[in-house]
Structure 1
């Protein structure tokens, strides 16, 4: 059955059309993406502002048309942290339903982590052993660890790349003081829950998903997407440590010219 999967993230709206059959891997048939940057359309009360809502409505309406044109029997639509954390989330969801007919569901952070973990497990298989999975979005960081298809440890932290950039990196390139404050904030937040993961153990395989990790890996020498999805890509810790001070001192223009980095995401 051909199905449309509509993902409304903090940075991007993404429609993936797949041919899915029980017992078989879903086959991607078409994708449609658009920059939304909803997390940058928040008002003083933490709600999505009028321009952000309109951008969302326009995208969902267009995505529904694409899904219809591609022969989708159904569309599964969900939203993550930008709408999940918005003070007017219920109103935004109602507006989407009223204007487009699409029932947009909010995916809780814990469920987001579980689904990402399931996808990683299915991709690497049982032979990968204990998995630790990290997923950085625009608004949140999800961590999941376990031995089965369902993770034993699930965490969703307010450490998304876009959120941290807005809160700490207001000037580009950022000052050393701003970078230090960002580092302290991240370490303090992670430390509150890190013990659970550390007690569970290091795992046999650590896997990072999301555009942020892919961009960092590409900067650090990983193969480009044109090499195909089956090429093993790694983000080397020592190489990343060498790059961090360089990235912190670069202008947005220079960062955007690095391999794997798109201009709209260069600030984060």
Structure 2
């Protein structure tokens, strides 16, 4: 008896839908996957409420997702909402509206649970080994940091410092100014003190970037070198040399919106936020002296899926 599962990850910037089939052997077969730049945090994240336009975009996207889910006959639907919804003053009424219009029940998860699911997703991608790694997942609303290896999590925390929040705070001119870059780094230095203490204790050597920003950095790096393989199929696990990251990073800082948009491999939905996210990656690499970057295309939704299967 095969079972079809639909997973929705309602991020602050992007909504993801993944539909998979589980066969009798418990093997997964991906049937459908999409991501939509809903920008749920736009126009509201800094005052703690979901803006009406953002809410309308979200509901429209979820109605479309519902149609797709029904067309695939998925029996189980799990929808998870993260930073934007859990912090929004109107988050509860938003979740009720979704149920009313789409019959989708949304689970609003806290930062610790989000970090845990990301860990299971990254672990399923096969990028972890016995070395201590620092997983970094840069969302629009929050950033999750997980110190771990393939066996276990040593420490995890979610910080409400996502790229949309950083953008609202520091992206005052385009290209970004040296003052804004310094201000973002000083802000991260201050806000990430718990991470700094944990890094001193567990001493990670590898940065593992989870999905999103990191996928795009790898795409840009690959195309810059004339490697088009990622445009056909996105690998589940990748590596990004630290010096290659810095080549892309400098380019992002130097260019304005339209120039960044013209970079091969750039996604329109990331074109501005990636600047702030890239500064955060630079901060983490430099501050914690990490020598290697690995990238997992799997993140939250794959983690939820693997946990569901494990419980079966």
Between the aligned partners of 2:239 and 2:140, the Cα distance in structure 1 is 22
The offset of 1:73, in angstroms, is: 0.8
Residue 133 of structure 1 contacts residue 145 of structure 1 at CA under 8 Å; is this kept in 2?
Answer: yes
- The alpha-carbon distance between structure 1 residues 166 and 47, as it changes in their structure 2 partners (threshold 3 A), is same
The higher-RCO structure (CA 8 Å, 6+ apart) is 2
Equivalent residue for 1:138, pick from 137, 140, 152: 140
- Per-residue CA shift, 1:151-199, capped at 9, x if unaligned? 1211111221222112110321122222221121122222343111231
Aligned counterparts, 1:210-225, within 5 A:
210-221=211-222, 224-225=229-230
TM-score (norm: length of structure 1): 0.89
Q: Which residue of 2 aligns with 1:234?
A: 239
Residue 80 of structure 2 contacts residue 108 of structure 2 at CA under 8 Å; is this kept in 1?
Answer: yes
- The alpha-carbon distance between structure 1 residues 56 and 149, as it changes in their structure 2 partners (threshold 3 A), is farther
The offset of 1:61, in angstroms, is: 1.4
Residue 130 of structure 2 contacts residue 150 of structure 2 at CA under 8 Å; is this kept in 1?
Answer: no
- Per-residue CA shift, 1:97-156, capped at 9, x if unaligned? 222221111121111111111122233287555443111111111111224555121111
Between the aligned partners of 1:215 and 1:35, the Cα distance in structure 2 is 14
Q: Which residue of 2 aligns with 1:265?
A: 270
TM-score (norm: length of structure 2): 0.77
Unpaired runs of 5+ residues, structure 2, are: 274-312
Residue 38 of structure 2 contacts residue 58 of structure 2 at CA under 8 Å; is this kept in 1?
Answer: yes
- The alpha-carbon distance between structure 1 residues 178 and 22, as it changes in their structure 2 partners (threshold 3 A), is farther
Between the aligned partners of 1:126 and 1:215, the Cα distance in structure 2 is 20
Residue 7 of structure 2 contacts residue 78 of structure 2 at CA under 8 Å; is this kept in 1?
Answer: yes
The offset of 1:225, in angstroms, is: 2.4
- The alpha-carbon distance between structure 1 residues 218 and 109, as it changes in their structure 2 partners (threshold 3 A), is same
Q: Does 1:116 align with 2:121?
A: no
Residue 125 of structure 2 contacts residue 237 of structure 2 at CA under 8 Å; is this kept in 1?
Answer: no
Aligned counterparts, 1:42-121, within 5 A:
42=44, 45-121=47-123
Equivalent residue for 1:253, pick from 252, 258, 276: 258
Q: Which residue of 2 aligns with 1:13?
A: 15
The offset of 1:238, in angstroms, is: 2.5
Between the aligned partners of 2:53 and 2:176, the Cα distance in structure 1 is 28
- The alpha-carbon distance between structure 1 residues 243 and 40, as it changes in their structure 2 partners (threshold 3 A), is same
Between the aligned partners of 1:67 and 1:159, the Cα distance in structure 2 is 32
Q: Secondary structure at the match of 1:40?
A: coil
Does 53-62 or 148-157 show the bigger shift? 148-157
Aligned residues: 267
The offset of 1:228, in angstroms, is: 3.5
Q: Which residue of 1 aligns with 2:173?
A: 171
- The alpha-carbon distance between structure 1 residues 143 and 21, as it changes in their structure 2 partners (threshold 3 A), is farther
Q: Which residue of 1 aligns with 2:276?
A: none
